[in-house]
């Protein structure tokens, strides 16, 4: 139970130590920055398109990904959603705003990236990889890290979600929950 709070408040507010909370918030911020910057880089580059990535798809749904790349109208929608989705997910994670939705959306996006171009033996892509991968690549690792953020939430303690959802968290006892959240050891 959190210091200075009741059992009901402790059930609503995770009881992390300062080191755990710092590590989880740092992970959330780092992943958020990565998503935000990737989206911003795509938005600021007038020549960026996902066509190359999608057209080289080799695994599940490869026919769908290739057909998305082959249709200029659909591709422009995919590029728009990808770029702005990355920015929105990144901001959500960094600010702790609608973090659960941002985390789930990020996991879905990373899963789509992974199944479009998995690092399996025999799959060769024109775009060079940053290293030598076999099954596990940086996309899968970031997906796993986002799962950690999903099951160990921090935005209700350190983030805008604390302000947005304070009534729902508190169930009418906002002072008790906020006091419990401030008492994180």
Place of tokens 């026919």: 63
For residue 39, the model assigns a pLDDT of 98
Q: Which of 76, 118, 114, 109 is nearest to 90 (CA)?
A: 109
Residues of the chain with pLDDT under 70: 1-13, 128-129, 167-185
Question: Three-state SS across 136-182?
Answer: ECHHHHHHHHHHHHHHCCCCCCCCCHHHHCHHHHHCCCHHHHHHHHH
Domain ranges of the chain: 1-16+155-185, 17-153
For residue 168, the model assigns a pLDDT of 67
For residue 14, the model assigns a pLDDT of 73
How far is Cα 12 from Cα 22, in angstroms, rounded to an integer?
Answer: 19
Question: For residue range 30-39, what is the model confidence (pLDDT) as tens digits?
Answer: 999 999 999 9
How far is Cα 7 from Cα 13, in angstroms, rounded to an integer?
Answer: 10
Question: For residue range 110-139, what is the model confidence (pLDDT) as tens digits?
Answer: 999 999 888 887 777 777 667 778 889 999
For residue 13, the model assigns a pLDDT of 61
For residue 94, the model assigns a pLDDT of 97
For residue 12, the model assigns a pLDDT of 53
């Amino acid at each position: 139970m959190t210091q200075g709070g009741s059992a009901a408040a402790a059930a609503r507010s995770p009881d992390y130590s300062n080191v755990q909370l710092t590590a989880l918030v740092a992970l959330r911020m780092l992943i958020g920055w990565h998503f935000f910057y990737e989206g911003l880089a795509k938005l600021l580059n007038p020549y960026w398109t996902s066509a190359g990535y999608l057209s080289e798809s080799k695994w599940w749904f490869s026919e769908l990904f290739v057909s998305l790349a082959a249709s200029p109208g659909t591709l422009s929608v995919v590029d728009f959603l990808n770029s702005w989705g990355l920015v929105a997910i990144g901001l959500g994670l960094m600010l702790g705003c609608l973090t659960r939705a941002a985390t789930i959306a990020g996991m879905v996006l990373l899963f789509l990236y992974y199944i479009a171009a998995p690092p399996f033996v025999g799959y060769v892509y024109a775009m060079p990889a940053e290293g030598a991968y076999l099954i596990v690549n940086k996309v899968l690792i970031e997906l796993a890290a986002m799962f950690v953020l999903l099951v160990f939430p921090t935005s209700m303690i350190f983030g805008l979600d604390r302000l947005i959802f304070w009534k729902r968290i508190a169930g009418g006892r906002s002072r008790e929950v906020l006091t419990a959240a401030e008492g994180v050891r």
